[in-house]
Amino acid sequence: MVHRMDAAKGSRVIVIGGSNVAFGLDVHLMEELLESQGMDVTVCPMGLYAAVGTSAMLSLAEGAIRPGDTVILALEPTRETLTSYFGAGAFLKCAESDPGLLLRLSQDQRGRAAGNLLPYLQEKAALVRSGHLPRDEGVYAKAAFDDSCSMVYPREGNTMALGHDPTEPIDLSGLAVAEDFADAVNAFIRRAQKAGARVYMTFSPMNRSAVRGEARDYFTLLRETFRCPVISSPVNYILDSGWFYDSNFHLNTPGAQLRTYLLARDVLAEWGSYAPLAFELPMMPEPIRQEIQESADTGNVIFGEMEGGAAYEITGLTEQGLRQETLRLPSSHSGKPVAAISPGALAGADRLTELHVPESIACLPEGLLEGCPAIRRLVLEHILAPCDIAPGSLDQLTDLQILVPLESYAWYQDGYGCEENPWQSVRHRIVAY
């Protein structure tokens, strides 16, 4: 992304944000739509994933800004994104092929990267020794992008069982921008404008099913906090769940085309061009339904229907389940997936020594195993993507061994997706089977 931005000739549109940029900006389409209205520009995405931090993307872009550029800030509405968080370990991984990128960071960021160098090297060495290296495949691999840094991995529909991720609601009325982050962004805006660029604020796409609160509250927050025009309406970027892929901010391929059209229209309107765009909007795809297979005895658990009735949640154990030493959680019930387990579902399982979790349960709640004094083995069956968990949830269970499929072992060691690796503190207790 950085090299392409540096090499681009003429005017550029630089879109800065997190993974909503990586998953939601079709670079070729954006350039075609702007060109159709006489705007000859190179579109440069500068958004990768949240574990790096917005502040890093600002640092990488700032030194390259020149007269005639248009800079668009597209920040996800999350508490983490609206802070000065910098993921030093994640950035070191991103800079493996060009350590010179470290020189584009701020002095404070370089210091934190240097402080994380030893843990980064230790993690890398452990992966090499294990012989289970990360796979260069899937939507989170480098191969998912083309030379323009546009994601080309086919994302044909919504893969989430409920159509949204209920563990990550989008609270538009409860957001706040950290003061130091606001100061840093406004300083970036001033310097970019002084360099001859125009700077605007737009919105990340948001899954309507996950949105809470009022869009106008978020619009007001951005308008009053950041010293640049807000060129979009948040209402237009709150989209139906059918446009999303695997999170509340990640769009599928048609969704990315729709968001790109919306953003191009907003940019052109700000530039004074209101002519209709010759673009046929895509059809919203059908959800991707995972094949449902029974994987365990459903008589050990108590089910609760999740919102919308599309899936079940495990809310507790039956008398039979409480007596088990080895418990295999089911992946489906009555023809619907079992997509979650509630925090206190295993309370009273005093005999439980081994727990098997199916891939249909994407996330383990914090404190799940606190009521299981005999637990010694946690067996995760996740192959398509690793299981998620609140960071630090298992730190106190020092006798717990975590078993994961050989195919996904590297993900648990190295991280996967757009956040910090939640298994980082217990990596030494993870073994492959």
- The reported pLDDT for the residue numbered 239 is 98
d(CA 286, CA 188) in angstroms, rounded, equals: 41
CB 62 within 8 A of CB 16: no
304 neighbors 313 (Cβ within 8 angstroms): yes
Q: Is 266:232 a contact under the CB 8 Å cutoff?
A: yes
Query: Which residue in the block uniquely carries the two structure tokens 């489906």?
Result: 332
| pLDDT tier at 58, thresholds 50, 70, 90 | very high
Lowest mean pLDDT among 6-20, 36-50, 54-68, 302-316: 302-316
Per DSSP, 311 falls in state: S
Rounded CA-CA distance 346/360 in Å is 18
Positive/negative CA dihedral, 126, 129, 132, 134: positive
Mark whether 246 and 374 lie in a shared domain. no
The string of pLDDT tens digits covering residues 225-283 is 999 999 999 999 999 999 999 999 999 999 999 999 999 999 999 999 999 999 999 99
pLDDT of residue 308: 72
315 pLDDT exceeds 70? yes
Give the per-residue pLDDT at 298: 87
- Same-domain pairing of 250 and 349: no
Please indicate whether residue 342 or residue 297 has the higher confidence score (pLDDT). 342
Angle (CA) 254 258 261, round 5°: 140
Average of pLDDT values for 367-391?
92
Residue 71 in any domain: the answer is yes
**Which three-class secondary structure string do you get for 94-138?**
HCCCCHHHHHHCCHHHHHHHHHCHHHHHHHHHHHHHHCCCCCCCC
The verdict on 186 and 227 lying in the same domain is yes
Q: Are 185 and 164 in contact (CB under 8 A)?
A: no
pLDDT at position 133, please? 78
- 266 and 313: one domain? no
Using pLDDT thresholds of 50, 70 and 90, give the confidence band for residue 418: low
- What is the number of domains present in the chain? 2
Residue 79 identity: R
Q: Are residues 12 and 133 in the same domain?
A: yes
Determine the pLDDT at residue 380. 97
Alpha carbon 19 to its chain's center:
6
Q: Are residues 132 and 242 in the same domain?
A: yes
Higher-scoring residue by pLDDT: 199, 416: 199
User: Angle 54-62/179-194 helices, nearest 10 degrees?
Assistant: 20
Give residue 50's pLDDT: 86
Rounded to whole angstroms, how far apart are CA atoms 291 and 338? 12
37 in the same domain as 182: yes
307 has pLDDT over 80? no
Regarding whether 316 and 229 lie in a shared domain, the answer is no
- Residue 292 above 80 pLDDT? no
- Whole-angstrom CA distances from 122 to 101, 234, 395 are 21, 43, 20
Q: Is the residue at 353 inside a domain?
A: yes
CB 229 within 8 A of CB 201: yes
Overall average pLDDT of the 390-410 stretch? 91
How far is it, in rounded angstroms, from Cα 91 to Cα 122?
15
Q: What is the mean pLDDT of the chain?
A: 93
Same domain, 259 and 358: no
> What is the reported pLDDT for 213?
96
Could you tell me the CATH number of the domain that includes residue 124? 3.40.50.1110
**pLDDT tier, 414 (very low <50, low <70, confident <90, very high otherwise):** confident
Burial classification of residue 284, based on how many CB atoms lie within 10 Å of its CB (0-12 exposed, 13-18 middle, 19 or more buried): middle
Q: Which domain holds residue 416?
A: 298-432
Phi and psi angles of residue 335, each rounded to the nearest 5 degrees, phi first:
80, 5
Percentage of the chain modeled with pLDDT above 70: 98
Q: Do 252 and 341 share a domain, yes or no?
A: no
Please report the pLDDT score of residue 323 as a whole number: 95
Tokens representing 429 are: 């207790």
Between residues 417 and 129, the one the model is more confident about:
129
**88 pLDDT band (50/70/90 cuts)?**
very high
Please tell me whether residues 217 and 339 are part of one structural domain: no
CA 60, CA 45: separation in Å to the nearest integer?
12
Q: Which residue has the higher pLDDT, 327 or 292?
A: 327
Provide mean pLDDT across the span 11-22.
97
Q: What is the pLDDT of residues 151-183, one digit of tens each?
A: 999 999 999 888 998 878 999 999 999 999 999
In a domain, 289, yes or no: no
User: Helix 107-115 and helix 117-130: axis angle, to 10°?
Assistant: 40
- 382, part of any domain: yes
pLDDT greater than 70 at residue 296: no
Which residues lie below 8 Å from residue 306, measured CB to CB, with a gap of 6+? 162, 166, 312, 313, 339, 340
Q: Which of 32-36, 78-82, 288-292 has the lowest mean pLDDT?
A: 288-292
Q: What is the CATH number of the domain that holds 401?
A: 3.40.50.12480
**Of 33-47, 213-227, 303-317, 393-407, which range is least confident?**
303-317
* pTM: predicted TM-score of the whole model, two decimal places: 0.86
Q: Do 142 and 230 belong to one domain?
A: yes
**Three-state DSSP state, 180:** helix
Going by pLDDT thresholds of 50, 70 and 90, the confidence category of residue 304 is very high
CB of 273 within 8 A of CB of 265? no
